[in-house]
Amino acid sequence: MKIKLPPFIKSYGFSIILIISIIIGSFLGIIYQKDAIVLKPFGDIFLNLLFTVIVPLVFFSISSAVAGMTNIRRLGKIMGSMIFVFVITGLIASMVMIIGVILYPPAIGAHVNLGNGVNVEHLKASEQMVKAFTVSDFADLLSKKNMLALIIFAILTGLATSAVGERGKSFANVLTAGSDVMMKLVSFIMYYAPIGLCAYFAYLAGVFGPELLGSYARAMVLYYPTAILYFFIAFTIYAFIAAKGEGVRRFWRNIIPASLIALATGSSMATIPANLEAANKNGVPKDISEVIIPIGATMHMEGSCLAAI
């Protein structure tokens, strides 16, 4: 006999499990403090799996999405809309934190040891662009450190595949299959997420928890409440603008796993797999999500806008 779960549990069950695992991990960290570091390897396994899948996932997702576009003008329209949204939302996030800093200056009473200075390599703007957007060897594309170069290579691969017409269909099918395989791999990895996040939050709370009560306390008091409020209020507004009430419901039904991964890792790139999965569940067209999400993870981070201010 099948047990019929309530709609709320069916929609938010996995997110609830992740939240509970994080709470348990945090309590373990508070109780055992630095002894909780023994759990870190279990968290590292989860993070390493996510980071490992990023490069092939980004390549196959972007290249297959671009190759599958029947009208190349659509890519230009997507990129134009993306840049507009990135700039506007980044400015909004920055303005929110500027207001917060004016009302509650975070540097008062802070004593931070900056350590010894380091030698910084001075490059011309043109050299910086070359270094950021290209690599000198194909093998260098296989590192998440060169994500922008990988994104450009994936877009060019997709364009080249589309340009050769019928002869490129077989290769386009390979790219699409690769994207599907990577997404299925992500779903496998997410089964381990409750254990991985529990272990990693135990480590974070046990090792770094006391440090947050020191010189960074005032900054944390400003940043975290502001970031949390921005996350809930601004993103709800953005989802409503996109698809009214249904957009808000879909967004909150599927975004929690990616949000918790971001909270644990502090890495936008680590959330790419979960964000792509959430976008698919939200009904976002694949050619949009598979192009914009990887680019956004490297070039547009509203949390970083808040922190930078």
Q: Where are the domains positioned within the chain? A: 24-107+123-308
Highest mean pLDDT among 54-63, 112-121, 143-152: 54-63
**Is the pLDDT assigned to residue 7 strictly greater than 70?**
no
214-240 pLDDT, tens digit each: 556 667 777 888 888 999 999 999 999
175-205 pLDDT, tens digit each: 999 999 998 998 899 899 999 999 988 998 8
pLDDT at 199: 92
Highest mean pLDDT among 73-82, 99-108, 118-127, 264-273: 73-82
Identify the three-state secondary structure at position 262.
helix
- Confidence band for 63, pLDDT divided at 50, 70 and 90: very high
Percent of the chain with pLDDT over 90: 27
Percent of the chain with pLDDT over 70: 87
Highest mean pLDDT among 73-77, 83-87, 145-149, 298-302: 83-87
Window from 5-9, 153-157, 158-162, 197-201 with minimum mean pLDDT: 5-9
| Residue 87 burial (10 A CB sphere; 0-12, 13-18, 19+) | exposed
**Is the pLDDT assigned to residue 126 strictly greater than 80?**
no
Structure-token pair, residue 127? 């050299």
- In the block, tokens 């002894």 appear at 35
Average pLDDT, the chain: 84
Calpha distance 180→187 (Å, rounded):
11
Query: How many other C-beta atoms lie within 10 A of the C-beta of residue 148?
Result: 18
Average confidence (pLDDT) over 28-47: 90
**Is the pLDDT assigned to residue 109 strictly greater than 70?**
no
**49-77 b/e (C-beta count within 10 Å ≥ 16 → b):** bbbebbbbbbbbbbbbbbbbbeeeeebee
pLDDT at 165: 86
pLDDT at 111: 57
pLDDT at 156: 93
CATH class of the structural domain 24-107+123-308: mainly alpha
- In the block, tokens 């601004």 appear at 234
* Higher-pLDDT residue of 131, 113: 131
* Higher-pLDDT residue of 177, 104: 177
CB 155 within 8 A of CB 66: yes
Calpha distance 38→200 (Å, rounded):
10
